[in-house]
Structure 1
């Protein structure tokens, strides 16, 4: 049997990213024959409750499946940081196996990634000059003449890579020493920074000053100083989904769009000349100069705002992710990063890719809110409207309906307003308030997606004060409420108790029940309120629901279970 390289995955506190990475990896050819080492970094001394939960959930995610043939998990009790974790982890495993394939928790791979990496590691095993195998290549627009299937150039890539012990033994982590050795090479500084087009030298300088502590630029410098070659595919086999401010070294700028690829299913590895591709250097230099974020940063400081937009639009060549296949792009689009797509032919803003895809599937694919009525102008309440998908669904279902939509989060409400206008929906009333049992103000945790909630335990800049209103005001004076949807992230118990005597005219009700870990479960309050109002109840668990609660219970955003509860008035159901 072929001696496959072990895979190393470094994770910390990003359960969603980790799961995308593992799901993609598990679908790789050779995954069922490979050994996977997962290194879990530990909490920092001042860890917040949210981060503590995310660390715990990430450690549950990695145990959800047998992702590869063998899975070996290491969990740190304290925080090492990404740079030290990778250097130490790679060193430990490579000393044992002689070669490695390395992933971080935000790298999704195509099905042929492992085969390409193993083929390349085997093919160039004896070539001392070849020090690094990359599974990623930039989405360069220039491809005339085209690059060959594989090629060499000077730079490493940390987004899905591999190497051998013989090369890793030359890894130097002393940034000042690396800087000195680069300066000793004639023209070394310019060559290292891709003809002064990239920020590699600045990264090294920032490591020296202590501003950052990273490993990748030190690995690149080590390879460069040793005149190493790095193999790259002409079409990427990996993408980075971490440009959402959730990672250590990825920000919320538009960088993710510059580096996004349509992935190759596989790239063959054949014999090529052991020399750097001048064409690759030409293309990557142009790419960096076109898209290099440092340029945008400097431009923001020097150029008037109106001119910035003209320059970005006409000269920076920023590729668009949002064509007719925008939903498929969103599958790996960074979380909590606002963007615009086309939905049903209309411009639609979204706040978060993952929650949008889940809601879109539930609402438009599964039709969970589809209901029947003979009323031509049904009255519908959308409590917890988020960006408006349910409201849009209701208006498509019954164009003459009146919809009252509540959304307390100011940031999400702004998107909701935009979408309602863009979708050209009429007879929709928007209310920028949280639902409660009285008119007042409450602390509200603005999560940035579909998980904003009142009465949260979170502290910090994401907790704000929002006004409240009672839902009774919108029920008592209505002769008929055809459909009442309540999805308000844990406030449903308080609101249902408040409207217990106001549901006599409501025909159908949907409640998303939320069970918070380490807090009393009050499911019976929901059941009692609905049965007391003559509703026939149906329940399912489409989202967060532990499959093996006797073994482990995942906790996401403080919750250990969610239920969809459907209520239909008995007299309405039998009519």
Structure 2
């Protein structure tokens, strides 16, 4: 392992990525590239895609592989994830993706408490209390010591912005959003509250990973339907069923 903790791995024949967590990168790659978790038919040849919760960039790489002319606007608040994301974009010769180093929410803030998990960076979250059940399940399946090490937290402060505010100030050229992908580890409703009605009207599709616990999935689906989208959902594969994780798709 290099001193900075970042390693280059091969995920499939000829397809490599940088990561600080090989096991997590392989899991996410399987979700996106092999199981087509976020696959949608009917996108244009050059779609405008918002990647909210970009992590190390695997979804963005998937979109750019499938739609080379895609315009991708990515959001990722964790500095270490951003560093790896940018290395992955460079590795794959991609120079037309905009990366915003912010957490998307309902109200802007100069700094908000955020929990970063160096060994499982994709689980980093603004709401670590929402991981209580996952911690219990990990301890049951992996043992308490390994689970505690995997989810050893580091507290950081990250800026927060509303998606509609960023689009208005930084991307006035964007007239439509063909796909809004959301994987924000418990901040789904915050993010949706930061999208203005005018931006909903020009959003063609949404894919979002969300928990059905505490009524969150119901509220997310109600919000999407309220903005004129047709909603469907399926249980997320390869997840412990107790987590009640779903992939929700909404289309106009």
TM-score normalised according to structure 2 size: 0.79
1:366 and 1:342 map into 2 onto residues whose CA distance is 18
C-alpha spacing 1:425/1:432, structure 2 compared with 1 (3 Å): same
Q: How far apart in 2 are the matches of 1:361 and 1:472?
A: 31
Provide the rounded CA distance (Å) in 1 between the counterparts of 2:117 and 2:46: 34
Q: State how far apart, in whole Å, the 2-side matches of 1:338 and 1:561 are.
A: 31
Match of 1:510 in 2: 207
Structure 2 Cα separation of the partners of residues 395 and 473 of structure 1: 25
Measured against aligned partners, the alpha-carbon deviations of 1:268-305 in whole angstroms (never above 9, x if no partner) come to xxxxxxxxxxxxxxxxxxxxxxxxxxxxxxxxxxxxxx
Question: Partner of 1:544 in structure 2?
Answer: 239
**CA 1:417–1:339: 2 relative to 1, 3 Å:** same
Deviations 1:430-459 (A, max 9, x none): 111111123211111101221000032499
Residues 346/524 of structure 1: CA separation in 2 closer, same or farther (3 Å cut): closer
What residue is the counterpart of 2:164 in the other structure? 472
For residue 357 of structure 1, report the CA deviation from its aligned partner: 1.7
Which residue pairs with 1:11 in the alignment?
none
| Secondary structure at the counterpart of residue 122 of structure 2 | coil
TM-score (norm: length of structure 1): 0.36
Q: Counterpart of 1:534?
A: 228
2:9 aligned residue: 341
Residue in 1 that maps onto 2:154: 462
Deviation string for 1:441-499 (max 9, x for gaps)?
11111012210000324998601101111111355653211110000000001111221
Note if contact 1:435-1:495 (Cα within 8 Å) is conserved in structure 2. yes
Distance 2:15 2:101 in 1: 23
- Paired residues for 1:315-354 under 5 Å: 338-343=6-11, 345=14, 347-354=16-23
| Number of the residue aligned with 2:125 | 453
In structure 1, C-alpha distance between the alignment counterparts of 2:190 and 2:9, rounded to whole Å: 36
Which consecutive residues of structure 2, in runs of 5 or more, have no partner in the other structure?
A: 132-150
Q: For the structure 1 residues 397 and 367, does the alpha-carbon distance in structure 2 shift closer, same or farther, using more than 3 Å as the test?
A: same
- The structure in which a higher percent of residues are strand is 2
Unaligned runs of at least 5 residues, structure 1: 1-252, 255-308, 310-336, 547-552, 554-559, 570-575
User: Do the aligned residues in 2 keep the contact of 1:489 with 1:514 (CA within 8 Å)?
Assistant: no
User: For 2:233 and 2:16, how far apart are their aligned partners in 1?
Assistant: 34
For residues 399 and 544 of structure 1, what CA distance do their matches in structure 2 show?
31
Name the structure 1 match of 2:63: 394
Matched, 1:567 2:250: yes
Contact in 1 for aligned 2:43/2:178 (Cα 8 Å): no
Q: Of the candidates 495, 519, 522, which is equivalent to residue 191 of structure 2? A: 495
1-structure distance, mates of 2:16, 2:39: 24
Give the C-alpha shift of residue 412 in structure 1: 1.2
Structure 1 pair 511/346, CA: closer, same or farther in 2 (3 Å)?
Answer: closer
What is the SS of the residue equivalent to 2:193?
A: helix
User: Which protein has greater RCO, CA pairs closer than 8 Å, 6+ apart?
Assistant: 2
Distance (whole Å) between structure 2 residues aligned to residue 532 and residue 417 of structure 1: 36
- In structure 2, the residue matched to 1:444 is 114
> Per-residue deviation at 1:374?
6.0
What are the residue-to-residue correspondences of 1:370-409 with 2, within 5 Å?
370-373=39-42, 375-409=44-78
After superposition, the CA RMSD in angstroms is 2.5
| Residue 52 of structure 1: aligned partner | none
Q: Is the Cα–Cα contact under 8 Å of residues 178 and 203 in structure 2 kept in the other structure?
A: yes
Partner of 2:139: none
The alignment of Structure 1 onto Structure 2 pairs a total of residues equal to 221
Kept in 2, the 8 Å contact 1:351–1:387? The answer is: no
| Compared CA separation, residues 423 and 471, structure 1 to 2 (3 A) | same
- The equivalences for 1:291-330 within 5 A come to none
